[in-house]
Structure 1
Amino acid sequence: MAAAAAIAIFVVAYALIASEKIHRTAVALGGAGLMLLLHVTDAEAAFFSEETGVDWNVVFLLLGMMVIVSVLRQTGVFEFVAIWAAKRARGRPYRLMVMLVLITAFASALLDNVTTVLLVAPVTFLVCERLGLRVVPYLIAEVMASNIGGTATLVGDPPNIIIASRAGLSFNDFLIHLAPLVLVLLAVFCLLCRVLFRSVFRYDPERTKEVMALNEREAITDRRLLRQGLAVLAVVIAAFVLHPVLGYEPSVVALLGGGLLVAATKVTTEDALREVEWPTLVFFAGLFVMVGGLVETGVIGEVSAFAAGHTEGRRGLAAMVLLWGSAAISAIVDNIPYVATMSPIVADLVQGYPGDDGRVLWWALALGADLGGNATAIGASANVVVLGIAARNGAPIGFWRFTGYGIVVTITTIALATPYLWIRYL
């Protein structure tokens, strides 16, 4: 009964989010409330459980990074980067998109993808405004690039951290096994952008001439605050990269960095918190509770176990089912609880193969979960964050508009990952 209620609530909530008739934050809160009201889950599981509750590490990571970005915004650094990028691209729209896509992807390999889009999105709004370009295609391309780039490393996407912990994989393991494919996927994605967003690539020589005449250094309005902000950001990034050594969770690092900036600079608390995307944070909390209800009632576990039970002993089939199945499920539910649920099952399957033969299953799970997040507007945390930023800045991105591009990108990248896994490991 509880499982049926969990499925019904999630399906209805997902349909309402897709319809865009009710704000997604209201839908997520309503769905979470129903899960609790009908005893599908309880307060203990929803707020305190690592497996089925709100992932407070994600929520507070976002909060801390939003505060840091809010402080940096007051220095003019985003205007500086926007002018610099526009001048390096010489005002050519497609060249600019490729530049922003590559910057986003490589930054996402070192940072988590959510942090990266928080830093890149403000720059994108400014540069598109300067060149008279529609900003939405650029934001969509960047968030997809962040999900692709984050696949390459252990710290690039939260599911990779879960997989590494369960499988005993190192930072170098991810680089060796996934980074080569990610480079190919990025090259293909850049070419795909030329086709998907061709209508936006309209060159305006007059606006370009105006931008080329600008001096980006004049955009910096507070050099002291900029030095302080960049110093804190550098320490935060270093702590992210050194997470396996230092042992501090990224959420703790981000909160400490944001708190230090507010305490040590002239920026007021009100100014620092004004730019925080509160509806996005609340949406995440509600979504985690709803997905947690599916995990709590065993729905996700049953689906995963069914797939695993029908592929046991057939390594190639198991890898393909994991790759494509993970992509499909991660398009609908957040990939963090999905990977957390699936990891024990994959660990059991891996034990059935000699030596390192079973490791391909881990790479299939990582690729499917990470790349599948591009399929829909709520498939990955970075997607939700960008949608929130876009809406706040008067350029809302519709669920189906994002999903229309996302399905094409996801199918293309998963299709390329299929022969890679088969040829290299099977």
Structure 2
Amino acid sequence: MAPKAAAPAGYLASLAVAVLLAAALIPPGPEKTAQLIAVTAFLGTILGAIFFWKFRVAFALAMISLLLFTGVMTPEQMIKYMHMDVITFLIGMMIVIGFLEERGFFEYLLDRLVKPLGRSGKTLFAGLLVLAAFMASLVDEVTSILFMMALLLRITKKYDMDIVPFMIAVVIATNVGSSFTVVGNPIGVLIAFSGGFSFLDFINYSFLTVGLWVLLLTAVLSLVYWRSYVRELDEKLRRLGTEFEAEAERGSMAAPWAVFIATIGGLILHHHIEAALGLPKNSTLVAIPIVMAAVSLMLSGDKAREIVERKVEWWSLMFFMFFFATVGGIAETGVAKLMAGAILDLAGGDPALIMVLTLWASGILSAFMDNVLAVATFIAILQQLAPTLGHEAVFPAWWAMLWGGCYGGNMTMIGSTANIVALGIVEKARGRYLRFVEWLRPGLLFATAQMLLATLLAYLRFFVLGLY
């Protein structure tokens, strides 16, 4: 279906204003024309995703074509900036997750975890938030929300309750959990490969420093904010019990368990494997999902092709590839260096202020556009700042990007992929359509509280205790 008539006008007007502003801000010089073309391609992709979400791949392809036809970027440079290590990692993980989904592995886990939580409304509500967070950290936010929503549909149907409060709380917890590890969110993968961080770095700097405490805050705040809903759930649990209708028998879980443990274990130990084998940093971070994807496809038999075609998000991966390349355009032409200089001037070279600015700017941007777009932009800026300030000075800002992208996405109903997926499930299953403000009320509260806590904890670790 063609986009509505108002959208093209809004797109063109926004792009024109943004490019004119860039033209006024970019200083004169021999590179200015190339820089303006790079800015046009970069903003054209972002605004295309905002105004025409369903057509975002088309806009990314069109904008990279602009860079190629004008000579601003060569095909070799385009491939260099596509982050094929990130794309390959995601393909491998999607195949592994697809295999586990086909075998009913996640439903098997959830069914066995929910009954012990049903002692009271508080334990069930808070327990499912914790479950959603840790599931997102071990697989990814979208897989987690798909299976958590299946569980919420069963629970709210049995107890005849509105699914929306439960859904919003679980999505918020899922986004928090996606910051715990490198596999929880595509922005984590992007940061890991761009910054050279390992799985254990994420556990140390993100999960233990900030993520665990933000999850605790989220659980407590949820119980307070939705206290009347929790009381209703508690009363119905006592009256109706926790027995659910049995589902069809599933096959053996031995192979799924082996694949799951080998994949997660390999990712946790990848840095030690590289050291033992004398391999370059993060090489096995790519290799482990690939080899486990191969094992998964061999175990899938006749369904192998179907898993590759249906379970890998080729549309999203294409968008990521070509958007990353347009970000490469602003890096290659020196625009990212100019942006880095502006942040440096604003922060006065203060690493703490750079961290705070990065966290809040990426968080606010992530509320209104895909968090991958926001983080990819800031990565290009940080890579320009590092040679000037030194690695240690920008080190906290790498983690600030992760927290800003994950927690800022809780602010609005379009802030992350998990939000959009959950809304689609509720609309299809229950015919319930949310207004923007219905999400914004709790979302703004939770996102602000989470980013404030992340800022305080990060400042304490890096700038008070000096623990890098």
TM-score of the two chains, using structure 2 as the length reference: 0.69
Aligned to 2:19: none
Q: What is the CA-CA distance between 1:241 and the residue it aligns to? A: 2.5
The Cα offsets for residues 214-248 of structure 1, whole Å up to 9 and x where unpaired, read as 5x8x5460342x33333322323323323333605
SS of the residue aligned with 2:169? helix
The Cα offsets for residues 385-418 of structure 1, whole Å up to 9 and x where unpaired, read as 5556666656677693555544332221111222
Is the 1:154–1:171 contact (alpha carbons within 8 Å) kept by the matching residues of 2? yes
Is the 1:166–1:347 contact (alpha carbons within 8 Å) kept by the matching residues of 2? no
Unaligned runs of 5+ in 2: 1-35, 275-283
Aligned to 2:452: 415
Distance 2:157 2:426 in 1: 13
Is the 1:64–1:257 contact (alpha carbons within 8 Å) kept by the matching residues of 2? no
SS of the residue aligned with 1:310? helix
Is the 2:366–2:408 contact (alpha carbons within 8 Å) kept by the matching residues of 1? yes
Which of 225, 235, 242 is equivalent to 1:212? Answer: 242
Deviates more, 1:101-110 or 1:192-201: 192-201
Change (3 A) 1:282 1:208: farther
Change (3 A) 1:308 1:111: farther
Change (3 A) 1:103 1:377: same
Aligned to 2:91: 60
Which of 301, 306, 323 is equivalent to 2:342? Answer: 306
Distance 1:287 1:162 in 2: 10
Distance 1:248 1:55 in 2: 10
1:190 matches 2:219: yes
Is the 1:323–1:368 contact (alpha carbons within 8 Å) kept by the matching residues of 2? yes
Change (3 A) 1:361 1:297: closer
Q: Which amino acid aligns with 1:203?
A: L
Aligned to 1:129: 157
Is the 2:165–2:226 contact (alpha carbons within 8 Å) kept by the matching residues of 1? yes
Aligned to 1:348: 387
Q: What is the CA-CA distance between 1:359 and the residue it aligns to? A: 4.1
1:242 matches 2:242: no
Unaligned runs of 5+ in 1: 17-23
Distance 1:208 1:261 in 2: 43
Q: Which amino acid aligns with 2:451?
A: I
Query: If you compute each CA radius of gyration, which structure gives the higher value, 1 or 2?
Result: 2
Aligned to 1:293: 326
SS of the residue aligned with 2:410? coil
Q: Which amino acid aligns with 1:285?
A: M
Distance 1:252 1:396 in 2: 39
SS of the residue aligned with 1:212? coil
TM-score of the two chains, using structure 1 as the length reference: 0.74
Distance 1:369 1:409 in 2: 14
SS of the residue aligned with 2:103? helix
Which of 101, 109, 112 is equivalent to 1:70? Answer: 101
Change (3 A) 1:394 1:300: farther
Distance 2:250 2:234 in 1: 31
Q: What is the CA-CA distance between 1:252 and the residue it aligns to? A: 1.8
Aligned to 1:20: none
Q: Which amino acid aligns with 1:184?
A: W
Distance 1:45 1:129 in 2: 54
Is the 1:52–1:337 contact (alpha carbons within 8 Å) kept by the matching residues of 2? no
Distance 1:325 1:186 in 2: 21
Q: What is the CA-CA distance between 1:115 and the residue it aligns to? A: 4.8
Is the 2:410–2:447 contact (alpha carbons within 8 Å) kept by the matching residues of 1? yes
**RMSD (Å) for aligned C-alpha atoms:** 4.2
Change (3 A) 1:305 1:418: same
Change (3 A) 1:142 1:254: farther
Distance 2:255 2:194 in 1: 38
Distance 1:392 1:259 in 2: 31
Tell me the number of residue pairs that the alignment of Structure 1 and Structure 2 aligns.
404
Distance 1:173 1:235 in 2: 19
Which of 389, 392, 400 is equivalent to 1:364? Answer: 400
Aligned to 1:252: 290
Distance 2:318 2:423 in 1: 16
SS of the residue aligned with 1:203? helix
1:203 matches 2:233: yes
Distance 1:66 1:397 in 2: 29
Greater RCO structure (CA 8 Å; 6+ sep): 1
Q: What is the CA-CA distance between 1:420 and the residue it aligns to? A: 2.3
Distance 1:48 1:248 in 2: 20
SS of the residue aligned with 1:151? coil
The Cα offsets for residues 37-57 of structure 1, whole Å up to 9 and x where unpaired, read as 655788948984444789533
Deviates more, 1:41-50 or 1:315-324: 41-50
Q: What is the CA-CA distance between 1:81 and the residue it aligns to? A: 2.9
Q: Which amino acid aligns with 1:237?
A: I
Deviates more, 1:64-73 or 1:31-40: 31-40
